[in-house]
Amino acid sequence: MSVDERKPITVAEAKGILERNLEELDPLQRRVHDYTVRFSKLSTEKGEAMVEELVEAGVDRGLAVQIANSLPESIGELRTFLGRRRIISEDVMNSILGIIEKYRSD
């Protein structure tokens, strides 16, 4: 398996990529695949769609991927991902939580 491009991806996307080449995986890649099976919270399609919707809402892609991987349930949990960007209106955070909830419940 070779690197085609570098960009942040969700655990679900990594799982999908690894599953396309299961026969070719080395031992480390198999361990990563086991991790993705255990910890992916969304399907590949839902994860990609959620990240794209978060990016369209103004969240940078790396942060959107982290949010999609963990699916925070409250503003407090969401703030842990924002780091120094804590000066975000409650309305924006509620809209982000709305996006998360839409994909969690689908």
Q: Does domain 44-105 have CATH number 1.10.150.80?
A: yes
Burial code (b: 16+ CB inside 10 Å, e: under 16) for 22-60 equals eeeeeeeeeebbeebeeebebbbebbbbbbebbeeeebe
Q: How confident is the model at residue 32 (pLDDT cuts 50, 70, 90)?
A: very high
Residue ranges of domains in the chain: 44-105
pLDDT digits (tens, 9 = 90+) for 43-61: 999 999 999 999 999 888 9
Q: Are 96 and 78 in contact (CB under 8 A)?
A: yes
pTM of the model: 0.84
Per cent of the chain over pLDDT 90 is 67
